[in-house]
């Protein structure tokens, strides 16, 4: 049976002969006589069988499919010249030096690689189209492409991006954490930089961190800190020098109840530095803080405050010579205000002379009554630097203890030589506002509701806003209040302060004492002032509770080495809690609710007719 063939076969035959026709000179120049295979005649497509011809037609009845015919022509010719599609694609894709260098193959390859249809071709290889057949969908090259994508595309892109992030995760080479490093760390700017430099890595982890349901429901969970930590842990596993976050977390967890073994587990996960590194870093931070303090003391004026602290020590295996105890100790803090105008060089000499003269000229009742607003002013907001000294296992219970403590403080400050002691000899002054005093008068004032107690509330507001003028003016009122209530200790302290201000201190020293030593401010805010003794109480709280360490190796020698590092540890804790928006307890030094005590006082005052007016 003869079959009428469509004209396109003759067209395709002519095209094939033309396409594969080679110029003899070009063949000899490019391949050589031995390299080029024996020419194989073009297959007789006109002699195709009926079944073969049917394969070239379109699935739609009566309509030919030119592309199918072209593909069959190519496949038949490849069969005749004994090359498989795999071999052809391999050679075409830089298979050997000849195929890589040949200009015609190179041109065809370049056109193919830059074709906009290449993506659709790869997409079909990955997921072949599914017709109406009942057979399963063709598998295509899905497994091969997935393996290629995992090993080459994803792996290479992520590795390239995580290496780009190396400068942003690299920590300081030294063990200490300088203040500059703490001040420059900002969580969300770092997150933005990571998203900018590693967009593919970020999007992959973000996709994995949320389920389809969470994305559909529009979950409001903040995933950015989580993704940053995961990427930093992966970067840290590539190099332990990329430890910017790990250093911060190591310090934070050590002083927030994490045991040594637990911290080493976190270190194994790449979340923190090791426990050993943290211990070495704390010692280095403490040494750096002491050196920095001594350097600043040589350039600026400073003053010192001290207070008692009872610190328990624990042991795990008690023996006669190894038992836990409650140790009476004393803590001290050096305060430096860099903007303070320093005293003149002859201040100590003038202070000694005026102090000697003031002892012979004590104040009297009329001096207290006539005291007015003749001195003092409201302070402008400032920032004060504080440095903790090593805690000493000595109580502050007597004058002899106080003298011993002064010797120990001078030892830590490198001022223990005779020349230094003579140069820095000074008359000690006492603060006039104490934490216990504040609590007592607040509770009593709520019970009395009288004008005398309201003055103390005014005093509290003056302290908070830095108005030392009001503070000085209220000293006579405090003297009479404490004297009338039988508080001999506070009365004596107020009298000593008044005597020193009006009799024993030179004017410039008195001004320096009021403006630089009464109040401290660590925030720079206009309402951020607090008394020195309360700041000392905050430091004691950090030493005893917030950043305390317990264990068999914790002794007074270790505590003395540790405590100068407390300010940096506090800064790290505040930084972590602020940047990660952690829910933290309040930092105010407060007492339990006194409402019941106040009500009982009110009843007692009413029954005693304390406020009733009586003639006589």
Task: Report the Cα–Cα distance between both ends of the chain, in Å, rounded.
Answer: 148
CA distance 374 to 320: 62
Position 22 scores a pLDDT of 41
Whether the per-residue pLDDT at 266 is higher than 90: the answer is yes
pTM reported for the whole predicted model = 0.65
- Give the count of beta carbons closer than 10 Å to the beta carbon of residue 356: 10
Position 262 scores a pLDDT of 92
Lowest mean pLDDT among 28-32, 181-185, 229-233, 333-337: 28-32
* Residue 315: pLDDT band with limits 50, 70, 90: low
Whether the per-residue pLDDT at 586 is higher than 80: the answer is no
The pair of three-digit structure tokens given for residue 536, joined into one six-digit string: 């000392």
CA distance 148 to 168: 30
- For 164-187, the pLDDT digits (tens) are 999 999 887 665 666 666 667 889
Mean pLDDT over residues 538-558, rounded?
78
Contact (Cβ atoms closer than 8 angstroms) between residue 177 and residue 570: no
Position 352 scores a pLDDT of 84
Phi, psi of 81 (to 5 degrees): -90, 5
In sequence order, the β-bridge partners of residue 328 are 310
Rounded to 5, what percent of the chain is helix, strand, coil? Answer: 60, 5, 35
Mean pLDDT over residues 563-579, rounded?
87
Which burial class, exposed, middle or buried, applies to 59 when counting CB atoms under 10 A from its CB (0-12, 13-18, 19+)? exposed
Mean pLDDT over residues 507-515, rounded?
86
Which spans in 388-434 are helix H? 399-412, 418-424
Helices (H) and strands (E) in the chain, counts: 33, 5
Give the three-state DSSP class for 79.
Answer: helix
Nearest Cα to 544, choosing from 336, 330, 384, 287?
330
**Sheet with 385-388, side-by-side order of all strands:** 302-313, 325-336, 385-388
In sequence order, the β-bridge partners of residue 467 are 378
Which burial class, exposed, middle or buried, applies to 251 when counting CB atoms under 10 A from its CB (0-12, 13-18, 19+)? buried
- For 471-487, the pLDDT digits (tens) are 888 888 888 888 887 88
CA distance 409 to 406: 5
Residue whose structure tokens are 């069969």: 79
Task: Check residue 21 and report its DSSP letter.
Answer: -
- For 79-102, the pLDDT digits (tens) are 999 999 999 999 999 988 999 999
CA distance 392 to 403: 13
Instruction: Locate the domains of the chain by residue range.
Output: 8-126, 153-273, 302-598
Q: Backbone dihedral region of 218: left (phi > 0), alpha (psi from -120 to 50 degrees) or beta?
A: left
Please report how the helices 66-80 and 85-92 are oriented relative to each other, as an axis angle in degrees rounded to 10: 90
In sequence order, the β-bridge partners of residue 333 are 305, 388
The pair of three-digit structure tokens given for residue 590, joined into one six-digit string: 């407060």
Nearest Cα to 68, choosing from 78, 58, 80, 81?
58
Position 249 scores a pLDDT of 93
Contact (Cβ atoms closer than 8 angstroms) between residue 539 and residue 383: no
Whether the per-residue pLDDT at 52 is higher than 50: the answer is no
Q: What is the torsion angle, in degrees rounded to the nearest 10, for the CA atoms of residue 536, residue 538, residue 544 and residue 548?
A: -120
Q: Widest CA span of the chain, in angstroms?
A: 148
DSSP string, 433-477: --HHHHHHHHHHHHHH--HHHHHHHHHHHHHHHTBHHHHHHTHHH
Mean pLDDT over residues 35-42, rounded?
47
Give the three-state DSSP class for 10.
Answer: helix
- For 399-415, the pLDDT digits (tens) are 788 888 888 888 888 88
Mean pLDDT over residues 193-217, rounded?
89
Position 233 scores a pLDDT of 95
The pair of three-digit structure tokens given for residue 508, joined into one six-digit string: 């410039």
Contact (Cβ atoms closer than 8 angstroms) between residue 263 and residue 274: yes
């Amino acid at each position: 049976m003869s079959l009428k063939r469509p004209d396109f076969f003759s067209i395709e035959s002519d095209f094939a002969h033309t396409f594969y026709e080679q110029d003899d000179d070009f063949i000899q120049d490019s391949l050589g006589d031995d390299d080029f295979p024996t020419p194989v005649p073009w297959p007789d497509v006109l002699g195709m069988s009926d079944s073969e011809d049917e394969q070239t037609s379109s699935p739609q009845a009566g309509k030919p499919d030119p592309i199918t015919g072209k593909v069959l022509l190519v496949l038949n010719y490849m069969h005749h010249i004994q090359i498989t599609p795999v071999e052809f694609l391999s050679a075409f894709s830089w298979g050997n030096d000849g195929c890589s260098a040949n200009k015609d193959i190179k041109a065809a390859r370049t056109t193919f690689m830059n074709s906009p249809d290449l993506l659709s071709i790869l997409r079909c290889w990955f997921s072949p189209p599914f017709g109406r057949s009942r057979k399963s969908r063709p598998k295509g090259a899905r497994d091969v492409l997935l393996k290629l994508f995992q090993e080459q595309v994803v792996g290479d892109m992520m590795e390239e991006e995580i290496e780009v992030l190396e400068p942003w995760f690299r920590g300081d080479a030294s063990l200490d954490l300088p203040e500059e490093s703490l001040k420059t760390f900002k969580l969300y700017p770092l997150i933005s930089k990571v998203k900018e430099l590693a967009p593919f890595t970020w999007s992959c982890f973000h996709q994995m961190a949320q389920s389809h349901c969470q994305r559909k429901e529009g979950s409001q969970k903040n995933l950015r800190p989580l993704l940053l930590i995961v990427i930093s842990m992966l970067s840290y596993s590539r190099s332990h020098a990329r430890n910017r976050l790990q250093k911060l977390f190591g310090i934070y967890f050590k002083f927030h109840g994490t045991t040594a073994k637990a911290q080493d587990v976190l270190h194994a996960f790449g979340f923190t530095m090791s426990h050993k590194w943290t211990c070495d870093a704390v010692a280095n931070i403490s040494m750096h803080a002491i050196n920095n303090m001594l350097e600043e003391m040589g350039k600026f004026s400073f003053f010192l405050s001290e207070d008692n602290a009872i610190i328990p020590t624990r042991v795990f295996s008690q023996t006669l010579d190894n038992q836990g105890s409650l140790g009476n100790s004393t803590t001290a803090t050096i305060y430096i205000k860099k903007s303070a105008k320093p005293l003149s060089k002859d201040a100590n000499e003038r202070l000694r002379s005026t102090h000697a003269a003031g002892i012979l000229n004590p104040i009297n009742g009329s001096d207290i009554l006539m005291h007015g607003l003749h001195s003092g002013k409201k302070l402008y907001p400032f920032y004060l630097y504080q440095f903790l000294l090593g805690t000493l296992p000595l109580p502050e219970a007597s004058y002899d203890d106080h003298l011993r403590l002064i010797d120990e403080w001078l030892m830590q400050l490198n001022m223990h030589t005779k020349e230094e002691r003579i140069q820095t000899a000074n008359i000690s002054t006492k603060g006039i506002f104490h934490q216990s005093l504040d609590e007592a008068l607040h509770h009593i004032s709520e019970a009395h509701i009288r004008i005398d107690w309201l003055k103390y509330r005014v005093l509290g507001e003056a302290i908070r806003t830095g108005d030392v003028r009001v503070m000085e003016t209220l000293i006579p009122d405090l003297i009479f209040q404490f004297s009338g209530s039988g508080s001999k200790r506070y009365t004596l302290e107020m009298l000593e302060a008044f005597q020193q201000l009006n009799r024993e201190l030179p004017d410039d020293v008195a001004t320096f004492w009021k403006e630089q030593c009464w109040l401290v401010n660590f925030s720079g805010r206009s309402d951020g002032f607090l008394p020195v003794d309360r700041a000392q109480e905050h430091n004691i709280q950090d030493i005893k509770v917030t950043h305390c360490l317990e264990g068999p190796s914790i002794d007074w020698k270790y505590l003395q080495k540790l405590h100068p590092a407390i300010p940096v540890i506090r800064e790290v804790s505040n930084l972590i809690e602020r940047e990660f928006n952690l829910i933290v307890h309040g930092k105010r030094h407060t007492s339990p609710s006194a409402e019941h005590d106040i009500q009982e006082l009110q009843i007692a005052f009413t029954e005693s007719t304390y406020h009733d007016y009586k003639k006589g």
